[in-house]
Amino acid sequence: MRIKIIGVPMDLGGDRRGVDMGPSAIRYADLEERLEKIGHEVVDHGDIAVPIPEARAIKDPTAKYLPEIVRANKTLADVVAKALKDGFFPLVLGGDHSVAVGSLWGVTRVRKKVGILWMDAHADFNTPETSPSGNVHGMPLAAALGRGRDALVKNDDPASRIDPTHVVQIGIRDLDVLEKRALRNSGIHVFTMHEVDRYGMPAVIERAMAHFKGCDHIHLSFDMDVIDPDEAPGVGTPVPGGLTAREAHLALEMIAETHSIGSMDCVEVNPILDERNRTSVAACELIASALGMRILE
């Protein structure tokens, strides 16, 4: 494949600083070299410009830094859409998970029947009305399905709405009370850690991929906090009881075998909280697995 790396040093979406350094840390772990070893052509677009929180004021505590997040995501959407039109696989490096808004805006401009595979400890299905924190990194999936503040749902090039039955979540284990209620009634297919433990990762992936029939594009949004913090400590919002690194690799290897993923986010790496860059290295290795790397090549 031809892969375009797009960095988004965004940490406006959460309360904890540091995830803005995630794109640099993942690159430092030799991402480009790993992808080229598989046989891909890699072009690094560089980073989207994002202001730092100290340079901005919070005007709406129910959706913090929303204008700045929307502006950065509109720029990201332009870059993602152009990458797809030019025949590239867009690989977006976060930054917090609010960058998925821009990724999906860009994808849905070019592809009309889009499925979303969301691997995360959190559902990110809050709106400003349900969020206890007002952190926008907990809202991107809701926005993709038309829920939430107009600025997150609408943009200059409104795309066809994503069908919730073409959205699958894996690894979920930390939900807010009102978010849980909204998720139950959403039509999204959710595989919590209960299902992963009960059925095993191979069965979960097989069931998950079956929900994308009829889609012409699947976007993989991978939050590093889906991994247990014992193995990936450097993340924005760690939650115990997550996937092992090996389970995550198996999932991504199985997904890669389907040759159906057309774009990807890897988000929430926080080098400030990391140990010897191990989470960034893990992110790099997991991206490689999603894009075709095998143990025995």
Instruction: Please identify which of the residues 20, 47, 96, 124 carries the catalytic annotation.
Output: 124
97 is catalytic: yes
Query: Which among 122, 166, 217, 249 is annotated as catalytic?
Result: 122
- Can 217 be counted among the known catalytic residues? no
Q: Mark whether 120 is an active-site residue.
A: yes
Residue 265 falls in the annotated catalytic set: no
Q: Considering 47, 68, 137, 174, which one is annotated as catalytic?
A: 137
Q: If we measure between CA atoms, which residue out of 256, 284, 263, 258 comes closest to residue 82?
A: 263
**Catalytic pick from 11, 120, 195, 265?**
120
Determine which one of 223, 228, 265, 285 is catalytic.
223
Catalytic annotation, pick one of 225, 228, 265, 285: 225
Is 20 a catalytic site residue? no
The reply to whether 86 belongs to the active site is no
The pair phi, psi for residue 18, each rounded to 5°, is: 125, -25
Q: How far apart are CA 169 and CA 29, in angstroms?
A: 27
Distance separating alpha carbons of residues 228 and 230, to the nearest angstrom:
5
What residues contact residue 148 under an 8 Å CB cut-off, 6+ apart? 63, 127, 128, 139, 142
Options 68, 96, 97, 179, the catalytic residue: 97
In the block, which residue shows the tokens 């059925």? 199
Other beta carbons within 10 angstroms of residue 280's beta carbon come to 26
Q: Pick the catalytic residue: 20, 268, 274, 285?
A: 268
Q: Which two tokens stand for residue 37?
A: 């070893």
User: Is 163 known to be catalytic?
Assistant: no
Active-site residue numbers?
97, 120, 122, 124, 137, 223, 225, 268
